[in-house]
Structure 1
Amino acid sequence: MSRPLEGKLGIVTGASRGIGAAIAENLASKGCNLVINYTSSSSTEPSAEFAKKLSSTYNIRAVPIQADIGTPTGGRDLIASAREHFTAANRFQIDILINNAGIARNALLPEVTVEDFESTYRVNVLGPLLVVQAAQPYLPTDRSGRIVNISSVSSSTGFVTQSVYGGTKAAVEAMTRTWARELAENATVNAVNPGPVEGPMYKTNTPEFLEGIHGWVLHTPLMKVREGVDPEDVVKDAKESGGRPAWTKEVAGIVGMLWWEEAGWCTGQVVCANGGMVMLH
């Protein structure tokens, strides 16, 4: 099995489940050592089990680290803990950083609260900024580093009820372009923009929200279900939803394209990871 990331260190925020977990496994399968970041104490045991599984399956070192990146000290605490676990011969380097952790609080404009705004921007925007700030001194100095920020189609689709969430993802994309310039000697910096993806966040969407995106789903080329290929329950559900969501491993595969050495000439970009729901120029 090819292990192009042998000996490298990757940090994935929000890695205990969903897209983050799929990205972590993709990295591990390439030989990358990992920090599995999670926020809630309820995720302590699952994260430890996940890290153990990755370590034994892929013969890498995976360490779960609890840190709430939505707090002023969360990013600094995460990087400090990573240093404690992965410093060897007085050397600590972060080769790959995936800013995946995020939350969504959907509401129509009259119902948006200040608390919704502040909480979502703290996790989705301030969090990645402070993580990258804390990580910067430990990035490579030969352009070999890779930073990938998880955005969303919501940054450009104007979905109803996503004044706040869509705004945070647009901010992530703006920061991606700035960091691509500021960190050019350290790492490429790109974003990927998933659409609907299987998992707990997608399942929390209201019927009203799903109705609102129905037209988008119908016109997304790769969300069309295939009988005999896709699971029967997905085919059945698509009769109402219009199509299937992405599998987490499919989004992880797009992210995975960006950390190869051959991807070193791509930076400051928003890369499609949504089956063609959004086609950017």
Structure 2
Amino acid sequence: MQRFHSYCISGSGEERAEGDTEARFPYWSFTKTVIAICALKLSENGSLDLDSLIGGQVYTLRQLLNHTAGLPDYGALKDYHDAVAAGEEPWSREKLLSAALARGMLFAPGEGWSYSNIGYMLARENIEAASGLSFANLVEAFISTPLGLTSIAPVTTREEFAQLRCEAAGKYHPGWVYHGCLAGNVRDAARLLHGLFSGKLLSAPSLAEMQVTIPLGGALEGRPWTECGYALGLMSGAMGTAGRSAGHSGGGPSCVNAVYHFPDLREPVTGACFTDGHHEGVAETELGRRVQNFG
């Protein structure tokens, strides 16, 4: 029987938990939301400009954050998946980029949309260079300390990953997630996104900027989405009767998650749901059910 671990927070502050709220899980691509928050914080304090070209490249940080830079993704590489499945050590940055960029850019920056983990690796590198701080230090300063979150930190070694609640623990090297892989408990995932949409992390103009969405289409097979789009580090659209939703899903070897804010319910609810398996739609569907039953 599949087990779910969830944490939901209403707009009035009521919190409801199911499953194990203390165990730490890999956040996978929910890390992208955190990278985007850090970028917007650095933009607020003048440390970087989202719309300046990066290091002589043809794309901007904003285009990296909303997947319009035209960069391909390593998820399409068979050799990448074979190496992960074989338990190999992660490739060097140079080998990864050489393999992924072998056929060049997918389109000119700003003239299309394509999900790219490579884009988020470059975005993380950019915010670290602009701030002079590591991603771990940025997360601590901009998110964990202001919100009082204690479980969240990047995992970078097999030994660190082995401590997580995930069947792949002990076998998988988190270095295969090239933009970085945060880990933490389900409670802190929900509180992080709740803090974002409660205005505790970004100014009102920055939060509005983060939510500017590129519409991408309608329903997705096997998933609860009825409208799909992408903002800055946010999957943004609607999940059927749960209404509008913004947050991020994540998945990797043996476990998946969904962390979303739902503003259209009788009372807005932010929630996180973690479970085993390989299909993010399972976590998304369960979270949608739980937030609608919150009241």
Q: TM-score range by the shorter chain?
A: under 0.3
Instruction: Name the structure where helix makes up a greater proportion of residues.
Output: 1
Instruction: Name the structure where strand makes up a greater proportion of residues.
Output: 2
Structure 1-normalised TM-score? Answer: 0.27
Relative contact order higher in (CA < 8 Å, ≥ 6 apart) = 2
Structure 2-normalised TM-score? Answer: 0.26
